[in-house]
Amino acid sequence: MTPERAEGSYKAPSRWLPGDLEKIKGGPIGTYNAYGMTELLYKECAVQADYTMAKVEEDEAEVLKTEDGEDLGIGGGWWHTGKVFVCGFVTSLTLGAESGLSPTFSTWSQVTMLHMYVLFARYRKFSAAEATLWQQHLLDHFFYDAENRMAVYHNMHARSTRNKYLKDMFIQWRGLLAAYDEGIAKGDAVLASAVWRNVFKASEGVDLKALAYIVSYMRRLLSGLDAVPDNKLINEVVVFGSPSGEEQVVKLRSVMMDLPLASTTSNVVAPNKQI
């Protein structure tokens, strides 16, 4: 993976509407374009921690479960195999501290939402009406896919059961938006805390280096997308990289670490103090 890929590179979609920005952003054509492009963008978000479920043979009683009772799937890539955290796996499997996040619905949804957040943040640079349109389409694609996975992968055939989980996920999504916004505004430590609570379920066994990779990765994506013109963003598909590309950044020693504690806190403004 190259640094350019981590910042967000672009590939032409299989279908797109030609024309300049003003011609395609508004009206029915703009709505169609937003729906089609957000579908492609959503798929790029969803593939990051994608997983499958092994077919259960008729003579097997049930699928494998994590210690928390979640269905355990089959996954790969950095999010599932990177050095992340220890707990949360089926105890009967031989997995060590380097195995990564469990390939479960929960992991998939949180990593997908993390990437959706990056796009949501960029869409805020659109006009209010356009931002709402693109954000809503992206969110719709996610919930349609999530409900389908519940039925196909996890045998949740009762609509009432799926609706309960979907409502819980929407609450998680709203909390995630606020938590990541706060982290972006207040600093890496706050953002790392938000990632820890959401992606890692506040696990005490989390690898702090993995948190640093993800925080750096999120900021790189946000910075890269911020530099992309609107007319390019609405016509081309973002290709995300991997947090593994943040190694050189994470290895850098902060100059703040060499300063006395009093010096690093002297510029902190009290909550009610006016600047």
| DSSP annotation string for 98-166 | TS-S--SHHHHHHHHHHHHHHHHHHHTTS-HHHHHHHHHHHHHHHHHHHHHHHHHHH----HHHHHHHH
Number of H helices, E strands in the chain: 12, 4
Angstrom distance (rounded) from CA 238 to CA 225: 9
Q: Which of 30-34, 49-53, 55-59, 100-104 has the lowest mean pLDDT?
A: 55-59
All residues at 6 or more sequence positions from 144 whose CB lies less than 8 Å from its CB, including other chains: none
Q: Is residue 174's pLDDT more than 50?
A: yes
Q: Is residue 270's pLDDT more than 60?
A: no
Q: What is the pLDDT of residue 253?
A: 78
Q: What is the mean pLDDT of the chain?
A: 79
pTM: 0.78
**Per the structure block, which two tokens stand in for 13?**
């979609």
Q: What is the pLDDT of residue 183?
A: 97
* pLDDT tens string 204-226: 888 888 899 999 999 999 999 99
* pLDDT tens string 106-157: 999 999 999 999 999 999 999 999 999 999 999 999 999 999 999 999 999 9
Angstrom distance (rounded) from CA 184 to CA 110: 17
Q: What is the CA radius of gyration of the chain?
A: 20
**Per the structure block, which two tokens stand in for 267?**
């510029």
Nearest Cα neighbor of 205 from 64, 63, 95, 93 is: 95
